[in-house]
Chain A
Amino acid sequence: MNNEIASKLTDIFRDVLDDESIILQSSTTASDIDGWDSLAHIRLVLTVEQAYSVKFSAKEVSAMKNVGEFVGLIESKLA
């Protein structure tokens, strides 16, 4: 997992979910984090798109299974 992206993504998760204790791992999924519900997911995607000036497709977002894939998707957009 790209450490630089993972670190920034952690900051975004902590800010959006208002939880400074969040620690992301590649295998982390929504069921592992309190508050990562469908509304929070929308807010996370919006915030990440703004933070990195990238755009995702609905297909890309719905295919993400964990944080590692989220980081990989961001990395692919920045390549």
Chain B
Amino acid sequence: MSSIPKLEPGLRLEFPFSVTPEMMADFGRMAGDFHPVHTDDDHAQRRGFLGRIVYGGILVSQVSRLIGMELPLSHCVWTRVTTDFVEPLYVNEQALMDAEIEAISEAVQALVLKFRILAADRLIARGKAEVSFAHE
């Protein structure tokens, strides 16, 4: 039986993900953003990309997954996220969410996560998230 990891600074959390064409279409409809850099490979290539690039909002959605599904907490909400989008991620490209608890305060029941999104040897995005939590 796997044990629940202890919530403490240095705790690493990671998971792989990729963004499919269906996810792109769903997000485009949800956000109302149909900019061709996200929807048209030819347009994106004319702008110097290898193909259409993943919405930044989808990358941020993986921070939501990180907090909601990977943190060993039952009751938590994020209160801030900051993200630098360093390089583009492409549709169907394999990526990795790599995160670490940077600080935790039991006094105010809050923690800081720093995260990186990587694809092969490229840094796609980096940032920090603040999370408020409550114990059972």
Partners in one complex: yes
Is A55's CB under 8 angstroms from B105's CB? yes
Query: From B132, which residue of chain A is reached at the shortest CB distance?
Result: A42
| With A42-B79, A42-B132, A43-B130: A50-B103 Cβ-Cβ less than 8 Å | yes
Q: Would you call A39 an interface residue if the criterion is a C-beta within 8 Å of the partner chain's C-beta atoms?
A: yes
B94-136 vs A, CB cutoff 8 Å, 1 = contact: the mask equals 0000000011011111111000000000000000001010000
When the two chains form their complex, are residues A58 and B103 in contact, meaning their CB atoms are under 8 A apart? no
Interface residues in A52-79 (C-beta closer than 8 Å to B): 55-58, 60-61
Chain A residue with Cβ nearest B102? A50
By a CB distance below 8 angstroms, the chain B residues around A39 are 79
How many angstroms between the C-alpha atoms of A43 and B82 in the bound complex?
A: 14
Residues of A within 8 A of B132 (CB): 42
Q: Is A12 an interface residue when CB atoms closer than 8 A count as contact?
A: no
The answer to whether the Cβ of A19 comes within 8 Å of any Cβ in the partner chain is no
Residue of A46, A57, A60 near B112 (CB, 8 A) is A46
CB of B79 within 8 A of CB of A49, answer: no
Q: Which of B25-53 contact A (CB under 8 A)?
A: none
Q: Nearest B residue to A44 by beta-carbon distance?
A: B108
- Shortest C-beta distance, A65 to chain B (Å), equals 16
CA of A60 to CA of B108 in the docked complex: distance in angstroms? 10
- Measured in the bound complex, the distance between the Cα atoms of B134 and A58 in whole Å is 12
Which B residues touch A17, using CB under 8 A?
Answer: none
Question: With A and B bound together, what is the CA distance between A41 and B79 in angstroms?
Answer: 12
CB distance from B102 to the nearest CB of A (A): 8
Verify if A22 is at the interface (C-beta below 8 Å from B): no
Q: Which residues of A contact B130 (CB under 8 A)?
A: 42-43, 46
12 contacts between A and B (CB under 8 A): A42-B105, A42-B108, A42-B110, A43-B80, A46-B103, A46-B110, A49-B103, A49-B105, A50-B103, A56-B105, A57-B107, A60-B107
Sorted from nearest, which 6 A-B pairs have the closest CB atoms?
Answer: A56-B107, A42-B108, A61-B107, A45-B108, A42-B110, A46-B105
Mark A residues whose CB is within 8 Å of B: 39, 41-43, 45-46, 49-50, 55-58, 60-61
